[in-house]
């Protein structure tokens, strides 16, 4: 139960006395004095007073034990019979309110205090008197200003904040002290501001005092009995007129104690001494009188200039203290901070800013003292911050320095206080150079002892990622250098040394492979191993191991060891080792040698056969003696030979000289036969007796046929051959003889006279047998001599039957092996026959090749080579036969079967070649641009295809241009057969090309062809195959197929200086012609092939552009050029042309000075026409001097100069044609149209037309018809624009007709129109003064003149292509006369028959009087250029007429038209 609050007023309610309360004691009742557990709240009510001297209402007090307590806060009593509160600051209160939570009897409430007449100023305020009063004169207390304070009540001043209570330890004395005997000693470090003295305070001390000097001896006494007794004079001695004595610098300074005790209150006994000025250095405080001293307060400040005391608010009751690093400003109103790195120091009260020690810091914005750097950071003295230790270092513990980590330790982060040992991370870790991180040692290294680095594993050891320590290299490995991450494996044949630092070779006889770790000894007797061998090597054949098996020794001479032999063996008889050791096998002794045992050795050697002996076969053990008629005159012969020519056999080793009357034949000396002699010894041939002489056998001289009829007189007395010779000498006849030929031996062909023949059956042909005819033919009519000539219809030779068996014997399927066997046999049979091969052998071989070609399998390379070799032998044989049909059939079969072989051979893109034939199969090429690649070949010798070399597609080798090139518009594959001649391409229209140098061959060709050129009799010119024959098969051809071939002819015909000849007033030239072989007609034809070659490049080749594939060749033939050419015509042309040139020069020279004439339109046009005709005529005329058809002139044919000359001639003649058209047009205007014929600026227009239009034609002609033809990279220029033998357009070509002949015909047609129109005017022109005959002659003269001037004579050239030779010649003469003399006609009509021109020059030289210049006199009538009706200044200005009658042609007096 809560006890109601009790309000206690100490004084009567009627009084206004204010109580100064400083203590309240509550006592419990006597019955229940135990107050333990009471909860009491005490409040002092000061509502009756203002705020000047009171706190807020209901200001709480506190319990005696010092526990604070606020409004409504209760305090639990711990006492037994009382509960005491003390109040802060002597408060004035009107009532005391006590509240308790538990009901207890309250016996007594003691309120200690006194009544103030004046209220003391509370702490924090002051007034002049230290008090203020609520009655009477009012004095107010003023709050202390900023920078000052007052902690005591009732004070007259506020103390600067720097002055603080200096005597706190002596503030309360433990005993009563006699002030006069008291002396307070101070340290002389400061200045004193004021001193406050308290007299004895009975409130604080309970004592019994009997005298003024008595001491407190008991808790009770006479002074403590009643309140009134407290104020008894016996208990308190008042202080009066006393002084405080302050001693400073040994000088005593007395100061009067202010204030008196009025006795009203114990607390009034306070005395203050405020010094008038600061006194520094005070060492002691004493008093001038004795009194009981209760308290002594001395307020002083240090002598330093700084203090940390301040007050930033008014009314302060105590000074504030700046922070740890703060000090007060001069006014003590605020704090200031010490500089960065410093803090406030208080040494005996002296405030100053001192440096932060090393390891500490104070930041600028920190109001506190120096702080320790955090662990891991350091600072120097006066630091405002700390720095973390860098990685690799640690803090020293005092935070003053960073020290490097010990070896093997690291500080990985900044601010480390400890270093970590790298060993903790693993056995391979070490501290790097900066101790910043633990790193692992590279392979081949391990950490050193203190783990401060790595040490290298020594040579012979290694460390890789799998191990943590240096380890010895295991065999067969080693390491040559320290710090090896791995061990290297000793190469084969080596092992590590003991230290494993290098490899040493396995000892001799030992080896080591990669699969073995140690060197192993060789076991095979044939094997050896040199030091350092990776394996035991078997001695190469011909060798055996030496004694220690460190190497091999060669088998001795004459001995060998094969791959399967275990030791060296003696060579078989007839074989040796050619004097060499170490042979795998013995080789047969060459021909001419035999074998014998080497002296002192086991082996055999070859020695020469002795004289008279030979060994024909390799590997002969013993030589064989020669048999007559052959000898071996020297040692080492492989065959017995016939004695040298002129000598004969006597023994196997000797020969004798054949005497006179004998000759050597087949190694023997034999008698000369009938009618032959040798006058000298050692002769190889007998000489036939001269005409009308004869002889018997073995004679050295001849006998005369002395009878005019030897057949009658000598027949019985001499050998038949003798009289037959004598008869033959008298007239052409052939003696009896035996003929050896390809088709057999025909014996005893009887004697016969010229024109007779002997017919024999062919020996090897089947029935019905063809015949061989032997004719006695006259071979030289001048000497009347004859010769027996064989004509064979035979087909088969002695060898044909054997070849035929190869085609008929094979049974069953022909396998590749069988093919090779047949091909090899065919090669053997044909090679033995050689030049004795005949056409029957070709047929039989063609059948054999056909069998192989028809077999299902491909033909191997070996079989192909053998077949090519066989055909090569056949091509070199004698294939002549009278049966041309049979030969053509056989040749066709052979060529077709060769094509099949080329198609079926297994060899592709590679030549299979021999001397006379080569074949190649080309695979299809589907790559881009394949059709433009082609194939080219170099052939240094056209007679030997063995030298043929494929040079690829384009340009040939660097040193030699291709001889043959093939390019098809199709990318398909092809087969190519090349042959050196036309042996398999028979034709009756081709001849055999003579042999020899080019110049001699050319001469012989012209001589042989002169009678057979067919120039007059219509026969066809003989042609010659002049190149390798190419048989090409491309298979199926696409539309537009073109096959381009580049072929270099065998015989270079040279330039025109050598291949051009005049025969019977005609020019004949040897030319190339591309042709293909028609195997139906069996002849070479040119249809379907274009021939392109540059005649200006004599050593160049020929391009044949054909539209099919078959057999191709370049033919050579003599052809007539410029058909109809006659030398006399050329001479006539030059003479007339020279005259024309002179006439044109004269015309121009005589008209130009005549100013009255030259200004007319007609004269101007005529002069321009004459100049153009003069230039064209000069170019044509001097061509014969600059350009020669044999290319010996200054300008070479087909050269750049020749091109320019051709284009210039072409251009100028077209310009002439244009001027003729202009002439015709002008005549038309003048004679036909007459009126309105004026043309402005006519000469500019005429010249532009005449010289401008023609320029297009030569440019178009040259660039359109001169082209480069490329075949597989080989270029040939095709000059279609220029002629072969002159620098003019090529006759008969498209460009000639289109660019020259066409414009000519066009100009002729235009001029013919003008001609007939003008002719009509001429015909209608009449003169009454002339007879009809004179009139007709005059008109005829005018017509001819117009025709010449208009160039209509060129129309004759159009009809010169009429085939009839007689008509051609006639027209040629007319053409030459009319056109070559055109310049003379110009002179005739423009000058000679022109009276105006004649009169001008007659007057010029004074031979004639000038005609009158006015009117229409005779001079006008006789000037063909004048306008008859014109007069004055315009008389000769224009050729314009106002009426037809004015035109001169229509006037009777005009005779000069």
Q: How far apart are CA 480 and CA 489, in angstroms?
A: 11
Token pair of 496, please? 């590590």
Higher pLDDT, 681 or 63: 681
Tens-place pLDDT, residues 1053-1081: 766 666 676 666 667 778 888 898 888 88
Is 881 in contact with 983 (CB distance < 8 Å)? no
- Where does residue 858 rank: exposed (0-12), middle (13-18), buried (19+ CB within 10 A)? middle
Residue 774 has pLDDT above 90, yes or no: yes
The helix (run of H) or strand (run of E) holding residue 503 is strand 503-505
Mean pLDDT for the stretch of residues 1305-1311: 78
Residue 1445 has pLDDT above 50, yes or no: no
Name the DSSP class of 1137: H
Percent over 90 (pLDDT), the chain: 16
Highest mean pLDDT among 104-118, 212-226, 914-928, 944-958: 914-928
Q: How far apart are CA 1398 and CA 104, in angstroms?
A: 187
Greatest CA span in the chain, whole angstroms? 230
Q: Place 647 in a pLDDT band, splitting at 50, 70 and 90.
A: very high
Residue 1366: left if φ>0, alpha if ψ -120 to 50, beta else—which one? alpha
pLDDT of residue 695: 92
- Where does residue 796 rank: exposed (0-12), middle (13-18), buried (19+ CB within 10 A)? buried
Residue 53 has pLDDT above 80, yes or no: no
**Residue 1417 C-alpha from the chain's centroid:** 92
Q: Which long-range contacts (CB under 8 A, 24 or more apart) does 1244-1248 make?
A: 1246/1165, 1246/1168, 1246/1222, 1247/1168
pLDDT of residue 622: 92
Higher pLDDT, 953 or 131: 131
Q: Is 1041 helix (H, G, I), strand (E, B) or coil?
A: coil
Residue 89: how many CA atoms within 13 Å on its side-chain side? 23
- Where does residue 278 rank: exposed (0-12), middle (13-18), buried (19+ CB within 10 A)? middle
Q: Place 214 in a pLDDT band, splitting at 50, 70 and 90.
A: very low
Is 300 in contact with 234 (CB distance < 8 Å)? no
Q: What is the SS3 string spanning 970-1027?
A: CCCCEEEEEECCCCCCCCCCEECCCCCCHHHHHHHHHHHHCCCCCCCCCCCCCEEECC
Strands of 565-619, DSSP E? 569-570, 575-576, 587-588, 593-597, 604-608, 613-614
Residue 1361 has pLDDT above 70, yes or no: no
pLDDT of residue 608: 92
Tens-place pLDDT, residues 293-335: 667 788 888 777 788 889 999 999 999 988 877 888 989 999 8
- List beta partners, residue 588: 575
pLDDT of residue 174: 47
Mean pLDDT for the stretch of residues 879-886: 82
CB proximity list for 616: less than 8 A, separation 6 or greater:
591, 624, 638, 639
Which residue in the block uniquely carries the two structure tokens 């390379």? 861
Token pair of 844, please? 């039989």
- Which of 179-188, 346-355, 433-442 is the least confident region? 179-188
Q: Is 1106 helix (H, G, I), strand (E, B) or coil?
A: strand
DSSP H helices in 1325-1439: 1332-1349, 1355-1358, 1365-1380, 1382-1387, 1395-1404, 1418-1421
Residue 1051 has pLDDT above 50, yes or no: yes
pLDDT of residue 1113: 82
Residue 205 has pLDDT above 50, yes or no: no
CB atoms < 10 A from the CB of 255, how many?
Answer: 18
Q: How far apart are CA 1339 and CA 1331, in angstroms?
A: 12
Residue 44 has pLDDT above 90, yes or no: no
pLDDT of residue 88: 53
Q: Place 530 in a pLDDT band, splitting at 50, 70 and 90.
A: confident
String of DSSP letters for 912-965: EE-SSEEEEEE----STTGGGT-EEEE-S-TT-GGG-EEEESSS--SSS--SEE
Q: Place 515 in a pLDDT band, splitting at 50, 70 and 90.
A: confident
Cα dihedral sign, 405-408-414-418:
negative
Q: How far apart are CA 6 and CA 229, in angstroms?
A: 28
Highest mean pLDDT among 1143-1157, 1218-1232, 1406-1420: 1143-1157
Which residue in the block uniquely carries the two structure tokens 């005996």? 348
Higher pLDDT, 642 or 832: 642
Q: How far apart are CA 506 and CA 520, in angstroms?
A: 8
How far apart, in Å, are the Cα atoms of 1070 and each of 251, 484, 623, 963, 1054?
163, 87, 61, 21, 9
Q: How far apart are the first and last CA of the chain?
A: 178
Q: What is the mean pLDDT of the chain?
A: 76
Is 148 in contact with 142 (CB distance < 8 Å)? no
**Residue 1447 C-alpha from the chain's centroid:** 83
* Helix (DSSP H) and strand (DSSP E) numbers for the chain: 24, 97
Residue 388 has pLDDT above 70, yes or no: yes
Q: How far apart are CA 243 and CA 262, in angstroms?
A: 18
Tens-place pLDDT, residues 246-257: 888 778 888 887
Higher pLDDT, 730 or 101: 730
String of DSSP letters for 1246-1278: HHHHHHHGGGHHHHHHHHHHEEEEEETTEEEEE
pLDDT of residue 1141: 84
Residue 887 has pLDDT above 80, yes or no: yes
Mean pLDDT for the stretch of residues 1135-1153: 83
Is 349 in contact with 309 (CB distance < 8 Å)? no
Verify cis geometry, omega within 30 degrees of 0, for the bond prior to 629.
yes
- Which of 616-625, 717-726, 1026-1035, 1406-1415 is the least confident region? 1406-1415
DSSP H helices in 715-798: 720-730
Q: Place 259 in a pLDDT band, splitting at 50, 70 and 90.
A: low
Tens-place pLDDT, residues 785-844: 888 999 998 989 988 888 888 888 766 678 888 888 888 888 888 887 667 788 889 999
Mean pLDDT for the stretch of residues 421-441: 90
Cα-Cα-Cα-Cα torsion 47, 49, 50, 56, nearest 10 degrees, comes to -40
């Amino acid at each position: 139960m809560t006890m109601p609050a009790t309000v206690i007023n100490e004084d009567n309610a009627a009084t206004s006395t204010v109580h100064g309360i400083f203590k309240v004691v509550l006592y419990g009742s006597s019955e229940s004095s135990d107050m333990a557990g009471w909860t009491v709240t005490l409040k002092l009510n000061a509502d009756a007073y203002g705020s000047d001297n009171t706190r807020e209402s209901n200001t709480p007090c506190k319990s005696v034990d010092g526990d604070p307590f606020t409004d409504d806060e209760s305090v639990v009593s711990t006492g037994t019979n009382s509960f005491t509160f003390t109040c802060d600051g002597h408060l004035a209160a009107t009532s005391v309110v006590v509240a308790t939570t538990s009901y207890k009897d309250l016996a007594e409430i003691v309120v200690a205090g006194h009544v103030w007449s004046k209220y003391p100023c509370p702490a924090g305020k002051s007034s002049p008197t230290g008090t203020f009063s609520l009655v009477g004169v009012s004095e107010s207390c003023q709050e202390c200003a900023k920078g000052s304070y007052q902690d005591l009540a009732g004070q007259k001043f506020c103390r600067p904040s720097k002055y603080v209570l200096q005597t706190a330890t002596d503030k309360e004395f433990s005993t009563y002290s006699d002030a006069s005997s008291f002396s307070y000693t101070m340290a002389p470090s400061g200045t004193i501001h004021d001193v406050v003295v308290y007299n004895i305070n009975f409130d604080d001390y309970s004592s019994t005092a009997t005298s003024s000097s008595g001491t407190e001896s008991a808790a009770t006494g006479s002074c403590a009995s009643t309140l009134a007794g407290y104020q008894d004079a016996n208990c308190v001695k008042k202080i009066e007129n006393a002084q405080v004595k302050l001693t400073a610098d040994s000088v005593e300074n007395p100061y009067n104690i202010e204030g008196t005790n009025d006795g009203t209150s114990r607390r009034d006994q306070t005395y203050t001494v405020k010094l008038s000025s600061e006194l520094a250095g005070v060492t002691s405080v004493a008093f001038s009188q004795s009194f009981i001293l209760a308290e002594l307060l001395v307020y002083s400040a240090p002598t330093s200039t700084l203090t940390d005391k301040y007050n930033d608010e008014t009314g302060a009751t105590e000074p504030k203290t700046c922070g740890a690093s703060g000090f007060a400003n001069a006014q003590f109103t605020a704090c200031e901070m010490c500089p960065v790195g410093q803090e406030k120091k208080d040494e005996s009260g002296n405030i100053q800013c001192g440096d932060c020690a090393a390891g500490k810091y104070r930041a600028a914005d920190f109001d506190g003292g120096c702080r320790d750097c955090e662990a891991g950071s350091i600072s120097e003295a006066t630091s405002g911050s700390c720095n973390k230790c860098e990685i690799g270092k640690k803090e020293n513990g005092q935070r003053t320095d960073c020290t490097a980590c010990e070896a093997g330790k690291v500080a990985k982060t900044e601010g480390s206080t400890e270093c970590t040992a790298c060993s903790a991370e693993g056995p391979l870790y070490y501290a790097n150079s900066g101790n910043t991180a633990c790193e692992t040692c590279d392979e081949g290294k391990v950490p050193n002892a203190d783990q401060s680095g790595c040490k290298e594993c020594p040579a012979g050891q290694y460390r890789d990622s799998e191990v943590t320590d240096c380890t010895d290299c295991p065999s067969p490995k080693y390491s040559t250098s320290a710090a090896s991450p791995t061990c290297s494996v000793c190469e084969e044949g080596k092992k590590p040394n003991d230290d494993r630092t290098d490899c040493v070779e396995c000892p001799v006889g030992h080896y080591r492979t990669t699969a073995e770790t140690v060197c192993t000894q060789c076991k095979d007797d044939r094997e050896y191993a040199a030091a350092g061998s990776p394996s035991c090597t078997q001695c190469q054949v011909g060798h055996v191991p030496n004694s220690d098996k460190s190497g091999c020794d060669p088998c001795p001479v004459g001995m060998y060891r094969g791959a399967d032999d275990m030791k060296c063996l003696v060579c078989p008889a007839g074989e040796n080792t050619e004097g060499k050791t170490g042979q795998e096998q013995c080789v047969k002794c060459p021909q001419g040698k035999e074998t014998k045992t080497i002296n002192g050795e086991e082996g055999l050697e070859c020695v020469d056969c002795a004289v008279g002996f030979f060994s024909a076969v390799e590997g002969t053990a013993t030589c064989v003696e020669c048999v007559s008629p052959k000898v071996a005159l020297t040692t080492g012969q492989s065959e017995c030979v016939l004695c040298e020519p002129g000598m004969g056999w006597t023994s196997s080793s000797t020969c004798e000289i054949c005497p006179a009357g004998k000759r050597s034949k087949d190694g023997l000396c034999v008698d000369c036969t009938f009618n032959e002699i040798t006058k000298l010894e050692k002769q190889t041939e007998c000489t036939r007796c001269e005409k009308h002489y004869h002889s018997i056998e073995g004679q050295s001289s001849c006998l005369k046929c002395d009878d005019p009829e030897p057949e009658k007189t000598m027949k019985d007395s001499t050998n038949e051959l003798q009289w037959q010779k004598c008869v033959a000498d008298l007239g052409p006849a052939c003696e009896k003889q035996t003929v050896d030929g390809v088709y057999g031996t025909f014996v005893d062909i009887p004697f016969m006279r010229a024109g007779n023949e002997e017919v024999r059956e062919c020996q090897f042909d089947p029935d019905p047998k063809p015949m061989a005819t032997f004719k006695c033919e006259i071979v030289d009519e001048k000497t009347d001599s004859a010769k027996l000539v064989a004509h064979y219809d035979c087909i088969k030779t002695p060898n044909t039957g054997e070849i035929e068996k190869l085609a008929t014997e094979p049974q069953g399927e022909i396998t590749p092996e069988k093919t090779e066997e047949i091909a090899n046999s065919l090669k053997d049979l044909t090679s033995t026959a050689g030049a004795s091969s005949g056409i029957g052998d070709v047929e039989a071989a063609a059948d054999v090749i056909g069998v192989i070609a028809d077999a299902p399998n491909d033909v191997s390379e070996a079989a192909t080579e053998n077949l090519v070799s066989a055909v090569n032998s056949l091509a070199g044989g004698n294939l002549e036969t009278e049966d041309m049909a049979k030969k053509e059939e056989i040749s066709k079969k052979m060529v077709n079967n060769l094509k099949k072989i080329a198609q079926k051979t297994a060899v592709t893109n590679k030549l299979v070649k021999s001397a006379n034939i080569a074949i190649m199969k080309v695979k299809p090429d589907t790559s881009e641009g394949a059709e433009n690649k082609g194939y080219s070949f170099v052939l240094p010798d056209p007679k030997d295809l063995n030298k043929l070399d494929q040079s690829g597609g384009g340009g040939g080798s660097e040193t030699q241009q291709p001889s043959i090139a093939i390019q098809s518009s199709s990318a398909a594959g092809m087969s190519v057969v090349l042959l050196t001649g036309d042996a398999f391409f028979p034709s009756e229209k081709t001849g055999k090309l003579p042999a020899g140098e080019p110049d001699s061959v050319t001469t012989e060709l012209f001589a042989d062809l002169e009678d057979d050129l067919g120039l007059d009799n219509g026969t066809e010119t003989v042609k010659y195959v002049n190149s390798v024959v190419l048989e090409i098969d491309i298979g199926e051809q696409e539309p537009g197929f073109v096959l381009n071939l580049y072929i270099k002819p065998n015989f270079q015909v040279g330039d025109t200086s050598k291949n051009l000849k005049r025969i019977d007033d005609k020019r004949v030239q040897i030319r190339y012609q591309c042709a293909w072989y028609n195997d139906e007609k069996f002849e070479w034809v040119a249809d379907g092939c274009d021939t392109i070659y540059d005649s200006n490049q004599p050593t160049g080749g020929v391009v044949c552009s054909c539209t099919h594939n078959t057999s191709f060749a370049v033919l050579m033939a003599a052809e007539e050029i410029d058909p109809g050419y006659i030398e006399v015509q050329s001479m006539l042309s030059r003479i007339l042309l020279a005259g024309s040139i002179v006439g044109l020069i004269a015309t121009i020279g005589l008209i130009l000075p005549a100013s009255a004439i030259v200004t007319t339109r007609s004269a101007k046009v005529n002069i321009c026409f004459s100049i153009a005709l003069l230039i064209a005529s000069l170019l044509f005329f001097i061509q014969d001097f600059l350009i020669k058809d044999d290319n010996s002139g200054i300008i070479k044919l087909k050269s750049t100069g020749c091109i320019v000359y051709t284009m210039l001639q072409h251009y100028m003649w077209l310009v002439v044609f244009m001027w003729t058209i202009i002439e015709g047009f002008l005549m038309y205007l003048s004679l036909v149209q007459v009126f309105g014929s004026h043309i402005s600026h006519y000469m500019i227009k005429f010249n532009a037309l005449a010289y401008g239009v023609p320029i297009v034609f030569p440019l178009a002609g040259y660039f359109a018809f001169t082209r480069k033809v490329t075949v597989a990279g080989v270029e040939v220029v095709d000059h279609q624009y220029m002629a072969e033998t002159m620098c003019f357009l090529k006759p008969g070509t498209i460009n000639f007709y289109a660019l020259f002949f066409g414009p000519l015909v066009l100009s002729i047609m235009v001029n013919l129109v003008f001609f007939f129109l003008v002719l009509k005017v001429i015909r209608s022109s009449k003169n009454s003064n002339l007879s009809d005959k004179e009139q007709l002659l005059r008109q005829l003269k005018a017509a001819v003149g117009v025709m010449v001037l208009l160039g209509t004579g060129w129309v004759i050239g159009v009809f010169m292509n009429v085939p009839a030779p007689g008509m051609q010649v006639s027209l040629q003469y007319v053409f030459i006369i009319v056109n070559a003399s055109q310049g003379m006609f110009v002179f005739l009509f423009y000058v000679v028959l022109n009276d105006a021109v004649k009169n001008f020059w007659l007057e010029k030289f004074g031979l004639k009087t000038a005609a009158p210049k006015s009117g229409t006199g005779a001079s006008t009538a006789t000037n063909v250029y004048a306008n008859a009706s014109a007069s004055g200044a315009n008389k000769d200005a224009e050729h314009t007429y106002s009426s037809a009658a004015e035109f001169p042609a229509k006037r009777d007096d005009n005779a000069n038209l």
